[in-house]
């Protein structure tokens, strides 16, 4: 049998080893060094972000964002309920309370309408909002940015899945006060593990860098006024990141092509509804996501597993998690409905059209 096809496997550009060798030649295996700067620069160049900080993963980047914005004990922080747990755990690290906002039917991302309604009626004003661009598809980011400004709520964009996605030609991650990208093993690009924090605000990134390096004061000895974390990215991993950034546009195009293939082979099927792309936006289609009607997703996952192909249910909404049973939420049933019959399909950029065809044939037999 051929190798297993994963949802989104790492896909090297070919230059990674070359750059890692350069790191070894310079003996700069330690965190920080030339490639960390280069990696940050390449993300800035590509996304148009003004300032960037490379860290160990996107979860720590979100944590730094909250810390920089002064979110702490007892604060309320709004978050997309339809997301991965890494969006939310940093809120807990800060002793703050997540408040979950439901999705809208069109984009599956956070509903701007519900968000606005909540902010108009809530007793306690939230300090910040963490907005996920789900499966690499841009949320209604312009409207949500406006709402946050209007209500004086800081906006952190969780663009962990959406590197390369744009709205009105502006990159997701660059609309908010701060934004994060993930370079985890399953994302569109990977450094095996890594994250980038971006902001227009230079002071935020300077402060984040300070917290990410154990909050060490600028003295010859080790002087500490506050506590920080050990969150900075290693020069070795940054070298991988530089090589990966070189092929980002290629990877986005391939992901979008895989989606088009799925659409082609599953066309005109009333039982299938794909996650849509908002007007004026370009998603990176990190994972092709769809809803199944009259088909049980367990059957599809099992049938695909038999041909050695990975597929999964969509993220289980956070308000449905036992961990958050006592948390506040503002819901209208949308994410629960999508989760009930939603599935994400293998979308690795190494896949061929024949792979997609074989997967679709299995789905159509379920």
Ligand X SMILES: *Cc1c(COP(=O)(O)O)cnc(C)c1O
Tell the smallest beta-carbon distance from residue 46 to ligand X (Å): 18
The burial of 115, by beta-carbon neighbours within 10 Å (0-12 exposed, 13-18 middle, 19 or more buried), is given as buried
Nearest-approach distance from CB 302 to ligand X, in angstroms: 24
Q: Which is nearer to ligand X, 191 or 272 (CB)?
A: 191
Minimal distance, residue 353 CB to ligand X, in Å:
26
Beta carbon of residue 89, minimum distance to ligand X (angstroms, whole number): 9
How far apart are the C-alpha atoms of 27 and 117, rounded to whole Å? 55
Spell out a b/e string for 116-141, using b for 16 or more CB atoms within 10 Å of the CB, else e: bebbeeeeeebbbbbbbbbbbbbbbb
**Least gap, CB of 196 to ligand X (angstroms):** 10
Whether 216 contacts 190, CB under 8 Å: no
Q: How far is CA 73 from CA 82, 96, 140, 229, 366, in A?
A: 24, 5, 29, 18, 49
Of the candidates 38, 127, 187, 209, the residue annotated as catalytic is 187
CB of 296 to ligand X, least distance (A): 25
Q: Which is nearer to ligand X, 8 or 360 (CB)?
A: 8
Q: What count of residues does the chain have?
A: 366
Burial tier of 36 (Cβ tally within 10 Å: 0-12, 13-18, 19+)? buried
| Alpha carbon distance 87, 255 (integer Å) | 23
Q: Residue 234 carries which DSSP code?
A: B
- What single string gives the DSSP state of each residue in 177-210? SEEEEE--TTSSS-SSS-EEEEES-HHHHHHHHH
Interface residues with ligand X (CB under 6 A) are: 57-59, 83-84, 86-87, 132, 158, 160-161, 182, 184, 195
Is-catalytic flag, 187?
yes
CB of 186 to ligand X, least distance (A): 7
DSSP class of 230: B
Q: Which is nearer to ligand X, 160 or 343 (CB)?
A: 160
Task: Please compute Rg for the chain using Cα positions.
Answer: 21
The SS3 of residue 224 is coil
Q: Residue 124: CB partners within 8 Å, gap ≥ 6? A: 76
Closest to ligand X by CB, 115 or 163: 163
Q: Closest CB to ligand X among 127 and 187?
A: 187
Q: Which is nearer to ligand X, 51 or 109 (CB)?
A: 109
Closer to ligand X by Cβ: residue 156 or 360: 156
- Two tokens at 9? 């496997």
Q: Measured between alpha carbons, how far is 171 from 196 in angstroms, rounded to an integer?
A: 14
Active centre residues (catalytic): 187
């Amino acid at each position: 049998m051929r190798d297993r096809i994963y949802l989104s496997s790492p896909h090297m550009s070919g230059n990674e080893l070359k750059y890692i060798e350069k790191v070894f030649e310079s003996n700069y295996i330690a965190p920080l060094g030339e490639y960390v700067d280069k990696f940050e620069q390449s993300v800035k160049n590509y996304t148009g972000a003004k300032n960037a900080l490379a860290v160990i993963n996107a979860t720590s980047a979100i944590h730094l964002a909250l810390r920089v914005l002064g979110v702490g004990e007892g604060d309320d922080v709004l978050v997309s309920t339809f997301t991965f747990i890494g969006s939310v755990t940093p809120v807990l690290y800060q002793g703050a309370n997540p408040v979950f906002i439901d999705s809208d039917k069109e984009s599956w991302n956070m509903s701007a309408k519900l968000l606005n309604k909540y902010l108009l009626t809530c007793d306690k004003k939230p300090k910040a909002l963490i907005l996920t661009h789900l499966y690499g598809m841009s949320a209604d980011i312009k409207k949500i940015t406006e709402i946050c400004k209007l209500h004086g709520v800081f906006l952190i964009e969780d663009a962990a899945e959406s590197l390369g996605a744009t709205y009105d030609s502006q990159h997701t991650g660059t609309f908010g006060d701060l934004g994060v990208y993930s370079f985890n093993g399953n994302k569109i690009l990977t450094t095996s593990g890594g994250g980038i924090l971006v902001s227009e605000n230079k002071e935020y990134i300077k402060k984040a860098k300070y917290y990410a390096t154990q909050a060490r004061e600028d003295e010859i000895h080790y002087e500490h006024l506050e506590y920080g974390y050990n969150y900075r990215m290693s020069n070795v991993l940054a070298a991988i990141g530089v090589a990966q950034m070189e092929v980002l546009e290629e990877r986005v195009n391939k992901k979008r092509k895989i989606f088009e293939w799925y659409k082609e082979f599953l066309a005109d099927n009333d039982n299938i509804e794909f996650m849509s792309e908002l007007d004026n936006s370009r998603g990176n289609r990190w994972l092709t996501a769809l809803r199944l009607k009259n088909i049980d997703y367990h059957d599809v996952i099992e049938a695909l597993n038999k041909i050695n192909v990975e597929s999964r249910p969509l993220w289980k909404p956070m308000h449905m998690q036992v961990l958050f049973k006592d948390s506040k939420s503002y819901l209208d049933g949308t994410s629960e409905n999508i989760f009930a019959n939603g599935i994400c399909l293998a979308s690795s950029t190494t896949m061929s059209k024949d792979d997609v065809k074989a997967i679709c044939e299995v789905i159509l037999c379920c």
